Amino acid sequence: MAEYGEWNRKGATLSDVTAQKEYGVSRDFIVKGIRAGRLEYREGSIWGNPYLRVLRSQLEPYIVDQLGSNYLVSGKSQTELRKVKKEIADLKKKLAALQARKAEIEGAIKMTDRTTASSRRGRSREKAM
């Protein structure tokens, strides 16, 4: 039985599609767990597409019982690796954009320095005459 407020906690529930991505389990696997009474669920629908919400705290032990702890650890590790790779790629894109912006700013600074230096030279020549 779910704890009080568990359905409302962030990260405590996941949809059948998210469970498939994170743990590699199918919707049929989740439905079998629901029918066996091992998983509590709630039905939802977004834009007319139905989905099942299950509790992570119940799904993980069910996966361990049915598929083994190695399967669960492997699935979690692959999911975390995927997230880390995605974050690295995002940071590389951001770094490239920042480096391009840095080059623009440095170019603008050099142009203003040249303009300022040439105008100073012209003033000093006028004073000398």
Residues 4 and 57 in one domain: yes
Q: How many folded domains does the chain comprise?
A: 2
Give the DSSP letter of residue 8. Answer: G
Assigned domain for 115 exists: yes
Domain boundary among 35, 67, 99: 67
Assigned domain for 77 exists: no
Residues 6 and 46 in one domain: yes
Half-sphere exposure of 99 (CA within 13 A, CB side): 6
pTM for the structure as a whole: 0.65
Q: Which domain holds residue 30?
A: 1-67
| Residues 72-111: tens digit of each pLDDT | 888 889 889 999 999 999 999 999 999 999 999 998 888 8
Assigned domain for 5 exists: yes
All residues at 6 or more sequence positions from 124 whose CB lies less than 8 Å from its CB, including other chains: none
